[in-house]
Chains A and B, each alone.
Chain A
Amino acid sequence: MDIAIKNGKIVKKVNAKKAKIIDALGMTVMPGGVDIHSHIAGAEVNSGRLLRPEDHVNDVEVKTALTRSGVGYSIPSTFTTGYRYSRMGYTTIMNPSMPPLEARHTHEELDDTPMVDKATYPLLGDWWFVLEHLRDDLIEECAAHIAWMMTATKGYAIKIVNPGGLESWSFGRNVQNLDDPVPNFNVTPREILRGLCKINKLLNLPHTIHVHTNNLGKPGNYVTALETMKCVEDLAEGNRPVIHITHCQFCAYKGSDWRTLSSGAEEIAKYVNHHDHVTLDMGQVIFTDTTTMTADGPFQYGLYNLTGNKWVNHDVETETTSGIVPFRYKRKSSVHATQWSIGLELALLVKDPWKIYMTTDHPNGGPFTAYPKIIAWLMSQVARKKTLSKISKRARRKSLLPSIDREFSFYEIAVVTRAGQAKALGLTQKGHLGIGADADVAVFNVNPEQVDASKKYKTVRRAFKKAVYTIKGGEIVVKDGQIVKPVFGKTFWIDVKTSLPMEVNDDLKRKFREYWTVEYENYPIPESFLHVPAQISVKAEI
Chain B
Amino acid sequence: MTVITGVTCPVCGTFCDDIELVVKDNVIIDVRNACAMGAAKFLSYAAHRSLKPLVRKNGELVEASMDEAVEKAAKILVDAAYPILYGWSNTSCEAIRVGLELAEEVGGVIDNTSTVCHGPSILSVQDVGIASCTLGQLRHRADLIFYWASNPWSAHPRHIERYTMFSEGRFQKSTWRGYLSRLSGGLSRKRLQRAVNLVLRRDIFTTPEVKRRMPYSMFQKKRKMVVVDVRKTRTAEAADYFLQVEPNKDYELLQAMRMLIRDEELDVDEVAGVPVETLEEVADIMVGCELGVFFFGLGLTMSEGKHRNVDAALHLTRDLNQRTKFLIMPMRGHFNVTGVNIVFTWQTGYPYAIDFSHGYPRYNPGETSVIDILNRDEADASLIVASDPVAHFPRKTVQNLVKNPLIAIDPEVSPTTLLADVVFPSAFVGIEAEGTAYRMDHVPLPLKKIVEPPKTCLSDEEILRKILQKVHKMRRNQN
What's the least CB distance linking A61 to chain B, in Å?
6
Stretch at the interface among A42-50, A249-257, A379-387, A490-498: A42-50
- 11 extra A-B contacts, CB within 8 A, seeds A62-B359, A317-B139, A517-B443: A50-B341, A60-B361, A76-B349, A108-B436, A313-B129, A314-B133, A315-B132, A315-B133, A315-B134, A517-B163, A521-B6
What per-residue 1/0 map shows which CB atoms of A283-307 lie under 8 Å from chain B?
A: 0000000000000000001001000
CB under 8 Å from chain B, chain A span 486-506: none
Alpha-carbon distance A501/B152, docked complex (angstroms)? 40
Q: Are B363 and A171 in contact (CB under 8 A)?
A: no
Stretch in A66-74, A412-420, A446-454 with 4+ CB within 8 Å of B? A66-74
> Is there contact, CB below 8 Å, between B126 and A52?
yes
Cβ-defined contact, B139 with A68, below 8 A: no
Interface hits, B325-372 → A, CB 8 Å: 325, 327, 341-343, 345-351, 356, 358-361, 363
Q: Is the CB of B445 within 8 A of A518?
A: yes
What is the CA–CA distance of A47 and B134 in the complex, to the nearest angstrom? 14
Residue B470 CB within 8 A of the other chain = no
Establish whether residues A172 and B136, one from each chain, have CB atoms under 8 Å apart when the complex forms.
no
When distances are taken between beta carbons in the complex, the residues of chain B under 8 Å from A314 are 132-134, 442
Using CB atoms, name the residue of chain A closest to B363: A53
**Using Cβ atoms and an 8 Å threshold, which residues of chain B touch A301?**
321
Considering the complex, give the chain B residue whose CB is closest to the CB of A521: B6
Whether A311 contacts B349 in the complex (CB less than 8 A), given A62-B359, A69-B360, A324-B129, comes out as no
Please, could you name 27 A-B residue pairs with CB atoms under 8 Å apart, sorted by A?
A: A47-B442, A50-B351, A51-B126, A52-B126, A56-B349, A57-B363, A60-B360, A62-B358, A71-B348, A75-B349, A77-B345, A77-B361, A78-B347, A79-B347, A101-B134, A102-B443, A108-B343, A109-B346, A112-B347, A170-B137, A170-B325, A172-B291, A172-B321, A313-B131, A317-B137, A317-B139, A514-B170
Q: Is A519 an interface residue (CB 8 A)?
A: yes
- A105 to B129, Cβ gap below 8 A? no
Residue of B nearest to A43 (CB): B442
Note all chain B residues with C-beta closer than 8 A to A312.
Answer: 125, 129-132
How many contacting A-B pairs (Cβ < 8 A)? 175
Please, which residues of chain B bring their CB within 8 A of the CB of A56? 349-350, 361, 363
Question: What are the interface flags for B145-184 relative to A under an 8 Å C-beta threshold, 1 for contact and 0 otherwise?
Answer: 0000000000000000011000000110000000000000
- Interface residues of A, Cβ cutoff 8 Å to B: 41, 43, 46-47, 49-53, 55-57, 60-63, 68-71, 75-79, 101-102, 104-105, 108-109, 112, 170-172, 184, 301, 304, 309-318, 324-325, 514-522
- Those 6 A-B pairs whose CB atoms lie nearest each other, nearest first: A317-B136, A172-B325, A310-B129, A315-B133, A71-B349, A104-B444
| Closest A residue by C-beta to B93 | A108
Distance between Cα atoms of A317 and B134 in the complex (Å): 6
- Residues of A within 8 Å of B341, CB to CB, are 50
Report B363 CB to chain A, min CB distance, Å: 6
Which residue among A46, A63, A514, A518 has the maximum number of chain B CB atoms within 10 Å of its CB? Answer: A518
B residues apposed to A, CB below 8 Å: 5-6, 8, 17-18, 93, 97, 101, 104, 122, 125-137, 139-141, 162-163, 170-171, 290-291, 318, 321, 324-325, 327, 341-343, 345-351, 356, 358-361, 363, 436, 438, 442-446
Contacting B360 at CB < 8 Å: which of A53, A71, A172? A71
Q: Give A301's nearest chain B residue, CB to CB.
A: B321
List chain B residues, Cβ under 8 A from A61.
360
CB contacts (< 8 Å) of B361 on chain A: these are 56, 60, 69-71, 77
Cα–Cα, bound, A79→B122 (Å):
23
Report the Cα distance A70→B360, complex, angstroms.
Answer: 6
Q: How far is the CA of A430 from the CA of B126 in the complex (A)?
A: 40
For the complex, would chain A's binding face be called helix, strand, loop or mixed by DSSP majority? mixed
Shortest distance between the CB of A329 and any CB in chain B (Å): 19
* Other-chain residue from A43, A63, A304 in contact with B104 (beta carbon distance below 8 A): A63
Q: Which of the residues A71, A311, A316, A517 comes within 8 Å of B318, measured between beta carbons?
A: A311
Minimum CB–CB distance from B156 to chain A (whole Å) comes to 14
Query: Do A69 and B351 touch across chains, with their CB atoms under 8 A apart?
Result: no
- Kindly provide the distance from the CB of B437 to the nearest chain A CB, expressed in whole angstroms: 10
Query: How far, in Å, is A247 (CB) from chain B's closest CB?
Result: 22
A68 to B354, CA, bound (A): 15
Cβ contacts under 8 Å, A315 to chain B: 132-134, 137, 327
Is A105 touching B141 in the complex (CB atoms < 8 A)?
no
| Complex CA distance for A311 and B322, rounded to whole angstroms | 13
Q: Which residues of B contact A309 (CB under 8 A)?
A: 129
Output the least CB separation between B297 and chain A (Å). Answer: 20
Query: Given contacts A61-B360, A310-B128, is CB(A519)–CB(B17) below 8 Å?
Result: yes
Least CB separation from B479: chain A residue: A65
Query: In whole angstroms, what is the CA distance A69 to B27 when docked?
Result: 43
Whose C-beta in chain B lies nearest to the C-beta of A184? B171
Residues of B within 8 A of A68 (CB): 101, 104, 347
Residues of A within 8 A of B351 (CB): 50
- Does B350 contact A53, Cβ atoms closer than 8 Å? yes
Q: How far is the CB of A317 from chain B (nearest CB, A)?
A: 3
C-alpha gap A109/B93 in the complex (Å) = 11
- Which single residue of chain B is at the shortest CB-CB distance from A105? B444
A105 and B442 within 8 A (CB): yes
- Complex: how many Å from CA A389 to CA B446? 55
Please determine whether A78 and B130 come into contact, CB atoms closer than 8 angstroms.
Answer: no
Q: Are B135 and A519 in contact (CB under 8 A)?
A: no
Residue pair A70, B136 in contact (C-beta under 8 Å): no
A50-B122, A60-B361 given; A522·B327 CB < 8 A? no
Shortest distance from the beta carbon of B281 to any chain A beta carbon, whole Å? 22
Instruction: Compute how far the CA of A514 lies from the CA of B171 in the bound complex, rounded to whole angstroms.
Output: 11
State the Cβ distance, B158 to closest chain A Cβ, in Å.
Answer: 11
Residue of B whose beta carbon sits closest to that of A109:
B346
A77 to B362, CA, bound (A): 13
Known: A63-B360, A313-B327, A522-B17. A49 touches B349 (CB 8 A): yes
In the complex, what residue of chain A is closest to B350 when comparing beta carbons? A53
Which residues of B are found within 8 Å of A55, using beta-carbon distances?
A: 349
Q: Which residue on chain A has the smallest CB distance to residue B290?
A: A171
B358 to chain A: closest residue by CB: A62
Say whether A102 contacts B137, CB under 8 Å: no
Bound CA–CA A519/B291 (angstroms): 25
A105–B338 Cα gap in the complex (Å)?
A: 12
Question: Complex Cα distance A75/B345, Å?
Answer: 11
A294 to B198, CA, bound (A): 66
CA distance A75 to B101 in the complex (A): 20
Say whether, besides A170-B141, A172-B325, A70 and B348 are in contact (CB < 8 Å).
yes
A514 CB contacts on chain B under 8 angstroms:
170
Q: Which residues in B have their C-beta under 8 angstroms from that of A76?
A: 349
Q: With A and B bound together, what is the CA distance between A62 and B351 in angstroms?
A: 18
Q: How far is the CB of B7 from chain A (nearest CB, A)?
A: 9
Q: Are B349 and A51 in contact (CB under 8 A)?
A: no
Q: Kindly list chain A residues whose C-beta atoms are within 8 Å of the C-beta of B347.
A: 68, 70, 77-79, 112
Write out the residue numbers on chain B whose beta carbons fall within 8 Å of the beta carbon of A108: 93, 343, 346, 436, 444
Task: Give the distance to chain B from A294, nearest Cβ to Cβ, in Å.
Answer: 15
**Contact among A46, A51, A62, A317 for B342, CB-based, below 8 A:** A46
CB-based contact B162/A517 at 8 Å:
yes
